[in-house]
Chains A and B, each alone.
Chain A
Amino acid sequence: MTKELTPQEMLRIDLTPPNRDWMDIPTVIKPGIYCYPAKPEKVEIVGMPNPHVWSPLDDDWGLPDDWKETFLNGMRERLNKHRSFKIFMDICVRCGACADKCHFFLGSGDPKNMPVARAELIRSIYRGEFTRAGRILGRLAGGRKLTEDVLKEIWYYMFQCTECRRCSLFCPYGIDTAEVTIIGRELINLFGLNINWIQEPVANCYETGNHLGLLPHTFKQNVEFMCMDIEEFVGINIEPPFNRKGAEILFVTPSGDVFAEPGIYTLMGYLMLFEHLGLDYTWSTYASEGGNFGFFTALDMAQRLNAKIYAEAKRLGVKWILGGECGHMWRVVHQYMNTFNGPPDFLEEPVSPITGTRFENASSAKMVHISEFTADLIKHGKLKLNPKRNDHLKVTYHDSCNPSRGMGLFEEPRYIIKNVCNNFYEMPENTIREQTFCCGSGAGLNAGENMELRLRGGLPRANAVKYVHERYGVNMLSCVCAIDRAVLPASMEYWVPEVNVCGVSELVGNALVMEGEHERPTDLRGEEIPGFAKAESEEVTKDV
């Protein structure tokens, strides 16, 4: 497994598939490439089918007797519900444009991780069970029957896709593997075959309001701990509001930012920004999760978890919602939330209370991205910034997959970074913006037991970071995604050990000059900034 593989060994990747029929290559489930199965109690909490104890390494997966019928009926139902699924089953010409676009293929060389091949795992069932040619001609028509081995293979590879949509960008017909994976996972979930790393956060989020299962008082405490750190490093006392009715804005961010490094520094950035602005806002302990692992389970589960955000906005009587930095959270917020649980007519079109800017692009869903909000503040000169406080950092920026290819958030974070940092370097152009590579651990695959897969999937991103690290001395990888912040440190430690990971709002927090702050010889991590020991901090202040 991973621990024994050095990066040099891991890099021995053969991207040439064998000269064999892929249907003849048996799938062997390998440790390090799969996540542990969902615990029955976590399946039960949200009322999903067939909670049971099982293991991917066992022969018997505890499938119900009628599993095959359930799967095929489930597939038929989804073909009727999603035009995308029907079309994507029918029109792939297997041109191979997507083949080497997937980070898991590039990092592992497993030919079934070519997006087209992964989708063919399900397409072959579609042809073999649903089309006449496939039923009669079988393999000659590219069809195969659904067997237990086929189901296991589908399971294995549906959890080797992070729904990043990079392949969809290059497909001449826009075939989106994420759609196939989303539906593939829905089908898998009809038998209780989820992985626990997804199922447990879903169950937690359902009951406590966040993935980590932080109870209301713990959530509040954790945020307050960060305020103590801010007091120490900045000298400002912040008392953030929780569950406060009548606030103008509800702020929702992924709970990862409340819990672990380096997300907590991003959280400190938010807290300082809001305090500095005197923003009339509130946190919620009930809707305390922006991320949505339900999205990696089934769309109706995503809808159920997402429902809390609008429900809480309504209960608290806020005018609009501000969202923190997160990847798939923004796919859901941007492309699904309004349809899932809107339109939220009880809210108002978002208007920045500081600059008066109307966020017209959010006029219906009423939720604004923190980068949109902050970029607008900087443009209007509402923030006093000292980018020198980030001079110890040479920063590059990782576009998270979902805000990139499911939204189009490219310029806002870059504008912010360029205003709060003096040293910013882009990674090679075919690895950023809409062509960005996934961190390798998205879509709920960031479990520890899955480390080999994560490191392999993380290779293309890490490789591009390594390039700017060696060329420009980049030592900080910034991003706007909580999963990135949770998983890229491990990827960096393995592939590019000298690079750390931060959120964009952490960089803002570092540079933000707050009224009444004391001398700040350290950054938000408590690390000394060269040149800022004693009385130097006020020397160069840039008004933006």
Chain B
Amino acid sequence: MAARILFPLGVVFIIVAVALVGGSISFLQPLFSVVLLYVAFAVFFFGFMARVVYWAKSPVPFRIPTTAGQEISLPWIKWSKIDNPSTTGGVLLRMFFEICLFRSLFRNLRSDLRSGWLIHSPTKWLWFLALGFHYSFLVIALRHLRLFVQPIPGFVETLDAVDGMFQIGIPPIYLTDIIILLAVSGLLIRRLCLPKVRFISLAADYFPLFLILGIVISGLLMRFVFRVDITAVKALANGVVSFHPVVPKGIGAIFFVHLALVCTLIAYFPFSKLMHMGGVFMTPTRNLANTNRMAYHENPWRKPPKFHSYEEYEDMYRDYMKEAGLPLEREE
């Protein structure tokens, strides 16, 4: 059990240590910045595509939506158009709520057995932590665009302004930094402390959490403790994006730690459970319309069934059928 937790934690520490060393040695810096970034993004891009293609190669032989509301039925019966969609628009809305608002997770209940009664009560913690984590991650990723894109796009500036509007501390701390720190910690504590979740957790579940926690902490350290030369970082990022990479001098080692953790996460992504990001779009229980009896759904590998035909049946039981007065195809 402990190995599941300690192994991924150890791996993260090793990455941190190696990056610290590598980032401090100037001739290794290109390897720990430019090369790592190119490799990580290439692995991510091709790995992601390959996984999606691998999934897409398998057909969807049956239309199996999980129906979460009233079917389309008689005209006077109120139909649940989103939770049990029978139109493309309905499916799109269902997918929107699922992907953007984590609809299914919002349904979550906790079931407890108390003095002989099973109590099922709504619980929103997981939904709340997941939503907080994913959205703050997204906003932070978008904010980082300011390093790569010149001139800085307007929406990035706006995002930055909104995210930093509380003006707490100098430099001001971003709201999303606080949220992601709390959310990832919450998700980790949950995994470590809730017996059911702990029981099912694998190293592959702890690893991304430790990685992301490392990324967040190293990012905050860079901003508040070991300040790095942001102009130099920006020059490096611009160079990478324009395929004219340069490694400016004087970027602190902590930056290379942050970058190494990010690159590990990106490169690890296509081979891990993080692919739920792609998979959630393709899951047949959510992305299909419940038009099951309305429209034919073809199974590409369907074979005509071998079944006991009526003729065989009648041949087998003709005498009984005759005696019982059942109509026959053939009398003999």
Residues of A within 8 A of B (CB): 8, 11, 13, 15-22, 79-87, 90-97, 99-101, 106, 111, 114, 116-117, 120, 131, 133, 139-142, 165, 168-176, 179, 206-209, 215-217, 220-221, 242-245, 285-286, 299-300, 303-308, 311-312, 315, 333-336, 338-343, 357, 360-367, 372, 375-376, 379, 404-412, 415, 428, 430-431, 433-435, 459-460, 463-464, 467
- Is B301 located at the chain interface by the 8 A CB criterion? yes
Least Cβ–Cβ distance between B281 and chain A, in angstroms: 10
Task: Determine the distance from Cα of A217 to Cα of B292 in the docked complex, in whole angstroms.
Answer: 35
Residue of B nearest to A176 (CB): B285
Decide: A174 and B299 in contact? CB cutoff 8 A: no
Least Cβ–Cβ distance between A318 and chain B, in angstroms: 14
Least Cβ–Cβ distance between B188 and chain A, in angstroms: 13
Residue of B nearest to A220 (CB): B324
Q: Residue A408 contacts which of B58, B69, B283 (CB distance < 8 angstroms)?
A: B69
Task: Determine the distance from Cα of A96 to Cα of B193 in the docked complex, in whole angstroms.
Answer: 13
Task: Determine the distance from Cα of A285 to Cα of B310 in the docked complex, in whole angstroms.
Answer: 10
Taking A84-B284, A311-B307, A410-B69 as given, write out 17 further A-B residue pairs in contact, using a Cβ cutoff of 8 Å, ordered by the A residue number.
Answer: A11-B113, A87-B282, A87-B284, A90-B275, A97-B105, A114-B200, A117-B200, A169-B66, A172-B280, A174-B104, A208-B313, A217-B324, A300-B303, A333-B293, A363-B294, A407-B67, A430-B122
Least Cβ–Cβ distance between A118 and chain B, in angstroms: 10
14 A-B residue contacts at CB 8 Å?
A17-B196, A19-B199, A84-B64, A87-B279, A93-B276, A95-B105, A140-B7, A169-B66, A217-B323, A375-B74, A409-B71, A409-B73, A410-B71, A428-B120
For the complex of A and B, the 8 pairs showing the least CB-CB separation, nearest first, are A408-B71, A217-B324, A91-B279, A174-B285, A408-B67, A365-B293, A17-B199, A430-B120
List of B residues within 8 angstroms of A405 by Cβ: 66-68
Decide: B271 and A133 in contact? CB cutoff 8 A: yes
Least Cβ–Cβ distance between B271 and chain A, in angstroms: 7
Q: Residue B292 contacts which of A307, A334, A366 (CB distance < 8 angstroms)?
A: A334
Q: Residue A372 contacts which of B74, B317, B320, B326 (CB distance < 8 angstroms)?
A: B74
List of A residues within 8 angstroms of B201 by Cβ: 94
- Is B198 located at the chain interface by the 8 A CB criterion? yes
Given contacts A169-B66, A434-B83, contact A79 B294 (CB under 8 A): no
List of A residues within 8 angstroms of B57 by Cβ: 80
Interface 1/0 per residue, B57-82 and A, CB below 8 Å:
11111111011111111101110100
Task: Determine the distance from Cα of A336 to Cα of B59 in the docked complex, in whole angstroms.
Answer: 15
List of B residues within 8 angstroms of A243 by Cβ: 326-327
Task: Determine the distance from Cα of A464 to Cα of B118 in the docked complex, in whole angstroms.
Answer: 8
List of A residues within 8 angstroms of B116 by Cβ: 8, 11
> Which of B98, B110, B305: most chain A CB closer than 10 A?
B305
List of A residues within 8 angstroms of B54 by Cβ: 86
List of A residues within 8 angstroms of B108 by Cβ: 97, 170
List of B residues within 8 angstroms of A15 by Cβ: 111-113, 196
- Is B229 located at the chain interface by the 8 A CB criterion? no
B window 1-43: CB within 8 A of A: 1, 3-4, 7
Decide: A285 and B321 in contact? CB cutoff 8 A: yes
Least Cβ–Cβ distance between A171 and chain B, in angstroms: 6
Given contacts A176-B64, A207-B308, A406-B64, contact A94 B326 (CB under 8 A): no
- Is B330 located at the chain interface by the 8 A CB criterion? no
Task: Determine the distance from Cα of A17 to Cα of B198 in the docked complex, in whole angstroms.
Answer: 9
Given contacts A379-B76, A467-B117, contact A142 B67 (CB under 8 A): no
- Is B218 located at the chain interface by the 8 A CB criterion? no
- Is B227 located at the chain interface by the 8 A CB criterion? no
List of B residues within 8 angstroms of A366 by Cβ: 293
Residue of A nearest to B296 (CB): A343
Task: Determine the distance from Cα of A82 to Cα of B283 in the docked complex, in whole angstroms.
Answer: 11
Decide: B302 and A339 in contact? CB cutoff 8 A: yes
List of A residues within 8 angstroms of B308 by Cβ: 206-207, 308
Interface 1/0 per residue, B135-146 and A, CB below 8 Å:
000000000000
- Is B168 located at the chain interface by the 8 A CB criterion? no
B window 104-152: CB within 8 A of A: 104-105, 107-113, 116-118, 120-122, 126, 130
Task: Determine the distance from Cα of A90 to Cα of B4 in the docked complex, in whole angstroms.
Answer: 19
